[in-house]
Structure 1
């Protein structure tokens, strides 16, 4: 497993191609591959500069990316762009401040179809959060396999204190602040 900081931009095109493979397949098959590519590539350029940014990449024996995870330390104040506003709605400001701000945030986790069922997703998550006392992630509520996976590997959902949204938040197992 290779670890990157802002040097992830050296493999940005390759990582972006892997991201598109994962996130335009079911249940995300409604996404346009070119729009997905452009959006992820632009986000990666910005995200690589975030405090605490880290990316982990696993390659096949042939050298192709088969899995990846990206994340960073969630800053204060808590953002409201992208899906963050829905997180605030779902959990409430107090719980967000207590459990998410300052925690390691898993932004993207992807395992290509050829590497699923090998334990790679679990290893990526465990490695990404190993040095952090608190960690969290969110996923789309229609990503049923992802939700089942997070539950199976011990991630838990904090109490919902607001209206339901189309996202589900998970906290890493055996962590404080939840």
Structure 2
């Protein structure tokens, strides 16, 4: 498994194609491939510049990307774009500041279909969070039932919800120091 920091841009096209393959398949099959490709490619260029950014890529013997994880240390103030507003709505601002700000945020985790069932997802998560003293967190769509079950089997857990349910689920890493 190789870690990338700013140099992930050098494999951006290849990583983007792997991302599209994962995140336009069920349960995300409703997503348009071209829109997904353009949005991820644009986000990756910005995300690679974030403080604490890291990407870990596992390749198959033939060189193809088998799986990937990207993330960064969550800055203060907590963001409000994308699904972050729902995170605050669900957990409350105080709990967000206590549990998420300063922790490593897993932004994307993907294992290509042909590499699933090999333990790669668990290895990617473990590698990304092993040296994170403030723990890690991630969110996923509440309709990604297999994904939610995977995170629970891997020891990730949901923090106490203080607000109404949304279409996202927040998970904290097994090594999160504040739970």
Which band: TM-score by shorter chain? over 0.9
C-alpha offsets along residues 125-177 of structure 1, whole Å, 9 cap, x if unaligned?
00000100210000000000100000000000001100110000000003212
Q: Secondary structure at the match of 2:176?
A: coil
Q: Distance in 1 between matches of 2:106 and 2:76?
A: 16
Paired residue for 2:153? 152
Q: Distance in 1 between matches of 2:3 and 2:60?
A: 15
C-alpha offsets along residues 81-119 of structure 1, whole Å, 9 cap, x if unaligned?
100000000000010000000000000000000000000
Q: Secondary structure at the match of 2:67?
A: strand
**Structure 2: unaligned runs, 5 residues or longer:** none
Q: TM-score, normalised by structure 2?
A: 0.99
Q: Secondary structure at the match of 1:105?
A: strand
Q: Distance in 1 between matches of 2:160 and 2:136?
A: 16
Q: Distance in 2 between matches of 1:31 and 1:175?
A: 32
Paired residue for 1:168? 169
Q: TM-score, normalised by structure 1?
A: 0.99
Paired residue for 1:25? 25
- Where do 4+ consecutive residues of structure 1 move more than 3 Å? none
**Structure 1: unaligned runs, 5 residues or longer:** none
Paired residue for 2:10? 10
Q: Distance in 1 between matches of 2:38 and 2:126?
A: 29
What is the RMSD of the two structures over their aligned residues, measured on CA atoms? 0.5
